[in-house]
Structure 1
Amino acid sequence: MSVPPAAPDKDALIADLRRQLAAAQSEARVLRRRLGIAAAANAASGDSAPARGLLDELRAAAPRKVDAPSTIAVKLGRRFDLWRSPAVIGLVMVLLTAFAIDAGVGLYQARAAREARQARLLLENTAMRSLYVELKGIAYDPDGKSYRMTLFLQNVSPKGPLYVMLNAVAVYVQTGMVWQQVPSRPAEGTSWGVVKVVDGYTYDVVFTPDVANWAELIPGYMHVRIQSDLLVSEKAQPGNDVVERRTPYYVYLKPHGANDEDIKTRSRSTRTPPLFIPMPPH
């Protein structure tokens, strides 16, 4: 088995071949000149034997094609045999498979997140546009210091019933420049919890605005803010598909025992002062 030549051996071989080629070319030029002189002499004497001898020498001295040793080509291409190794091919396939799986998981997660956002936006739209929350009215409570307000939920969604979690309704009375929260509770027969709203649902809340020095923006009336916080879903047993619906109301509320004549005089009105005056959110 032959051993491939090292790099210095190759360089020496190439240099030797070049020297041999240069010597052969020089010898050929000399023989051509001699052949020309012999041909001229033959033409004068009529003898062609010397010319034929020089022609044979010229052919023998002509440069020949020299093939590079096959071992050199084998060594130069040996580095590419690494990519034909089963281990390398297997490693490349594993890496490509891992990249493909990672890309697939990324696409799946992005699509799932996009679908979840779309579903939540649709539910938020349903909770805001298909569920109406209305303050139907406020009345004096028989205890002489509290009020009973009636709230009404109406479902106009074409998709079906809505499941609404009733939370405690917060009531605030303005004192000076701040809002002071007052006690509130569900009326008798009403409890906080989930209710199924197919068409309409009514419930009552009792609150007691026992506040001193309340702000009197309108003569004889308290400035009251009512805040209803609801959780809305389209499923009876929801998972993450629940959205919050917050609805504020603002009213001017007449205190217990208020003097209607005094209020009419101060407000320069001839009408009987109502118990409450609804106001838009502000």
Structure 2
Amino acid sequence: MNAKRPDLAKLTSPEKDALIRDLWRQVAAGQSEARVLRRRLGIAEEASEKGESALLEKLREAAPRRPIEPPAGLAVKLGRGLRLWQSPVVMGTVAILCAAFAIDGGIGIWQQRALQQQRQARLLLEHEARSSLYVELTRIVQEADGKSYRMTMAMQNIDAARPLYIMLNAVGIYVQTGMTWQQVPSRPVGEASTGVIKLTDAYSYDVLFTPEVTGWAELIPGYMHVRIQADMLISRSAQPGNDIVERRTPFYVYLKPHGANDAEIKASGKMPGTPPVFIPMPPH
């Protein structure tokens, strides 16, 4: 039922005031009721949301999970790898390879030791070729042909208990002309020209040479400056293999030419007596 609206024109001032206060009370009561309803509605919505979340969580936990398994191909490969090392063929191949590496390493070590022993033996032989073998130029005389000379070389084995086997090469004879050395013809005499000499004690041999040179250097008045080079191959074995070394022994002399004037040489060089055919010099 709708309340009958009062006629405002017939109301007195006190009645109008009372009516206004009554309307305010009704409005305030309505607003209060609306707030209560909104609060109740909000709680219900929140509870509804929480209920839905809890329900979803329970559904997730209750759902079955698929187990994580390795790929089938990987499992097969791993299995093959383990079975591969159990194969006799593979094990035999590995054993052969290991043996081959071991043999190669052993051969390398043996070769290194052999080379080291060869180097040591060679160094020892080189030392003996210089310390145990004494080589000396003993004399030079003029030949009767008026142009040649005969030279005598002497060798001695200091350690006579251990023979040396020596092959003599051609002795080189050089005459200084200006600032250079000019080689002159030379040849060995007798058995020194062929074969190998077994030296146990002492041995000497002769060499003929003809220094027909013009414009030779005159370091000492009236004498030629001559270099004599004796080369030889030396071993401790009669049939050497790698145990062979080379020795080169140089000698330097002043040589008086054929037909030289001894009186002039003696006067210019202030020599007592007859000037010798050759004057030895230290190596230089």
TM-score, normalization by structure 1: 0.72
Q: 1:281 to 1:252 in 2, by over 3 A?
A: same
Give 1 or 2 for the bigger CA radius of gyration: 2
**Aligned pair 1:92/2:94, yes or no?**
yes
2:151 matched residue in structure 1: 149
Task: Say whether the 8 Å CA contact 1:126–1:157 is kept in structure 2.
Answer: no
1:37 matched residue in structure 2: none
Equivalents in 2 of 1:76, 1:251: separation in Å?
Answer: 89
Task: Say whether the 8 Å CA contact 2:147–2:258 is kept in structure 1.
Answer: yes
1:105 matched residue in structure 2: 107
Unaligned regions of 5+ residues in structure 2, if any?
A: 1-57
Q: 1:135 to 1:121 in 2, by over 3 A?
A: same
**SS across alignment from 1:148:** strand
2:209 matched residue in structure 1: 207
**Aligned pair 1:194/2:196, yes or no?**
yes
Q: 2:262 aligns with which of 260, 263, 267?
A: 260
Equivalents in 2 of 1:125, 1:159: separation in Å?
Answer: 17
1:131 matched residue in structure 2: 133
Code of the residue aligned with 2:227 in structure 1: it is R
2:19 matched residue in structure 1: none
Equivalents in 1 of 2:117, 2:254: separation in Å?
Answer: 44
Q: 2:275 aligns with which of 256, 259, 273?
A: 273
Equivalents in 1 of 2:195, 2:269: separation in Å?
Answer: 42
TM-score, normalization by structure 2: 0.71
Count of residue pairs the alignment pairs up:
221
Task: Say whether the 8 Å CA contact 2:190–2:205 is kept in structure 1.
Answer: no
> How far does residue 149 in structure 1 lie from its aligned partner after superposition?
0.8
1:222 matched residue in structure 2: 224
Q: 1:262 to 1:90 in 2, by over 3 A?
A: same
Task: Say whether the 8 Å CA contact 1:167–1:193 is kept in structure 2.
Answer: no
Task: Say whether the 8 Å CA contact 1:186–1:192 is kept in structure 2.
Answer: no
**SS across alignment from 1:102:** helix
2:179 matched residue in structure 1: 177
Task: Say whether the 8 Å CA contact 1:171–1:184 is kept in structure 2.
Answer: yes
Code of the residue aligned with 1:119 in structure 2: it is A
Code of the residue aligned with 1:275 in structure 2: it is V
Q: Deviations over 1:23-74 (max 9, x none)?
A: 49xxxxxxxxxxxxxxxxxxxxxxxxxxxxxxxxxxxxxxxxx9x9xx9xx8
Equivalents in 2 of 1:244, 1:75: separation in Å?
Answer: 71
Q: 1:89 to 1:178 in 2, by over 3 A?
A: same
Unaligned regions of 5+ residues in structure 1, if any?
A: 1-18, 25-65
Task: Say whether the 8 Å CA contact 2:172–2:229 is kept in structure 1.
Answer: yes
> How far does residue 272 in structure 1 lie from its aligned partner after superposition?
2.7
Task: Say whether the 8 Å CA contact 1:184–1:207 is kept in structure 2.
Answer: yes
1:32 matched residue in structure 2: none
Code of the residue aligned with 1:239 in structure 2: it is G
Q: Identity of counterpart residues, as a percentage? A: 62
Equivalents in 2 of 1:93, 1:85: separation in Å?
Answer: 12
Q: 1:76 to 1:134 in 2, by over 3 A?
A: closer
Q: 1:193 to 1:75 in 2, by over 3 A?
A: closer
